[in-house]
Amino acid sequence: MGLFADLPGDDGLPGPQRRLAMIALMTATAMTVLDGTIVNIALPQIALALKVSAGAAIWVANGYLLAAAMTLAIFASLASRIGYRNQYAGGLAVFTLASLGCALAPSLDVLIGMRLLQGLGASAVLSIGPAILRTVFPNRLLGRILGLNALMVAATTAIGPALGGVLLAISSWEWLFAINVPLGLVGLVLVLRAIPAERATALGRFDSAGAVLSALAMGALIMAAEACQRLGAPGQSEAAGLHALAYGVTAVVAGIAFVWRQRHAAQPLLPLTIFASSRFSLAALTSLISFVGQGIAFIALPFLFQSNYGYSALHAALLFTPWPLGIILAAPQAGKLSDRFAPIALSSAGLGVFTVGLALLALLPAHAQAWDICWRGFICGIGFGFFQSPNNREMLSNTARQHSANASGVLAIMRTFGQCFGAALMGIIVSVFGAHVIAGAGTLASAAQDAHAIRLSLWVAAAATALATLVSVSRLRALHVAPTVPPANP
């Protein structure tokens, strides 16, 4: 049966309304995820056009990620108070208007301000997207629709640099933002038409202290990762190291305080009871570690393609195309299979393939041809696509329905945290390598030594996904001792 065919006893929305809801949700997801990566390749042009330094222009990218990461847990909690549709539509409206503001921004300050607003809108959308899918589609189709959602998230993340390069080749940087406006308006109309309004399910005082601690912990984490990426830059290593340490300590302290607060709050921002299910907790941990590997690869590969192989920015972006193509082919099939077979076994197998793909990229020869790069990236995409949708199904199906928004928030946080930690690891590896060369030889690293550092990073990425595979396989024992949490009535 198809995604929009109705069967007796189905929960969720009728088939035709499910179709409209899916189009609306996928459109919004693609836009918000894409804006996290598509802008990176345009930063040099933005810096030139606005007459600012490259370091200042970086905040066009970092501001978006910072605002989104700091508010994911907050919006996941707010959704049960203001309603899924209200929050989703409001977040999409803010994101669309902020996109127009970005396209019309006359200065860097205005552009960064609009990017912060974009990040807030994206957080409101991404934090509850899977939770809305769970209410829209019947449980028998949960794996399949989560597979399509995973495809959209992973593919748009991977294809962002390539799409950005193509748009820049035919237009100016403003169109990277302006293209969101018509898509956002269409998505907003469909959300208001297809997703039914529902009553708020959470009452009482909002956990303001938990919200502040959550934002502080995630914000400090993003800033620590950004400082780690500057560790290897000439003249910045000492200051970046101190900044990374200060932000890292702040993130740890705020994180510990947040956990303490959640244990003692009457109505916590993030109910820790959802982690009582070992299957949910292990799925979240598996997701976190896998995104560490992906985060390292997404930063290391552009350096490898451009700095060591000599490809242009556009060609380097196009070399990423096989990765999302593999995800597009694998994720829907994996989601469909996870409705029939054990998601744990499927996601573990996908992680194993992903690990092999990363190892193959680390083994690229010194002078690799484009086809040699592409088939290895394709294997990574197949593996990651086969992992993510069954793992997401495992997370949501082991959470009571009243905590679906919180589970969606955890899913988004694991992705963001993992990618940031991967970026930090990449920065540390490059810094240690560069410091060793300068101290030992008194000169800058050669191209061959840079390539060695990048390959070392890819090996670390492969090690991370190998660890994620072991954690995933360990869930097979939990499968026999920890039954799925029965969905509670909304």
pLDDT tens digit sequence for 52-96: 876 688 788 888 888 988 999 899 888 888 888 899 999 999 999
Residue 483: the pLDDT is: 44
Q: Do residues 321 and 472 touch, judged by C-beta distance below 8 A?
A: no
Cβ atoms of 93 and 188 within 8 Å: the answer is yes
- Amino acid identity at 17: Q
Q: What is the pLDDT of residue 489?
A: 39
pLDDT at 371 over 70: yes
Radius of gyration for the alpha carbons in the chain, expressed in angstroms and rounded: 22
Share of the chain above pLDDT 90, in %: 29
For residue 354, what pLDDT is reported? Answer: 96
Confidence of residue 357 (pLDDT cuts 50, 70, 90): very high
Q: pTM of the full predicted structure?
A: 0.80
pLDDT single digits (tens) 323-345: 888 888 888 888 888 888 888 99
Task: Give the residue among 72, 75, 42, 30 at the shortest CA–CA distance from 420.
Answer: 72
* Distance in angstroms (rounded) separating the CA atoms of residues 339 and 351: 19
Which of 63-72, 259-268, 352-361, 418-427 holds the top average pLDDT? 352-361
**What pLDDT score was predicted for residue 8?**
77
* Three-class SS of the chain: CCCCCCCCCCCCCCHHHHHHHHHHHHHHHHHHHHCCCCCHHHHHHHHHHHCCCHHHHHHHHHHHHHHHHHHHHHHHHHHHHHCHHHHHHHHHHHHHHHHHHHHHCCCHHHHHHHHHHHHHHHHHHHCCHHHHHHHHCCHHHHHHHHHHHHHHHHHHHHHHHHHHHHHHHHCCCCHHHHCHHHHHHHHHHHHHHHCCCCCCCCCCCCCHHHHHHHHHHHHHHHHHHHHHHCCCCCCCHHHHHHHHHHHHHHHHHHHHHHHHHHHHCCCCCCCHHHHHCHHHHHHHHHHHHHHHHHHHHHHHHHHHHHHHCCCCHHHHHHCCCHHHHHHHHHHHHHHHHHCCCCHHHHHHHHHHHHHHHHHHHHCCCCCCCHHHHHHHHHHHHHHHHHHHHHHHHHHHHCCCHHHHHHHHHHHHHHHHHHHHHHHHHHHHHHHHHHHHHHHHHCCCCCHHHHHHHHHHHHHHHHHHHHHHHHHHHHHHHHHHHCCCCCCCCC
Which of the pair, 290 or 54, is modelled with greater confidence? 290
pLDDT over threshold 60, residue 445: no
Place of tokens 């997370």: 395
pLDDT at 471: 93
- Count of alpha carbons within 13 angstroms of residue 21, beta-carbon side: 26
In angstroms, the first-to-last Cα distance of the chain is 26
pLDDT at 250: 95
182 or 169, greater pLDDT: 182
pLDDT at 425: 82
pLDDT digits (tens, 9 = 90+) for 225-272: 778 777 666 666 677 788 888 999 999 999 999 999 999 888 888 888
**Residue 477 neighbours by CB under 8 Å, 6+ apart:** none
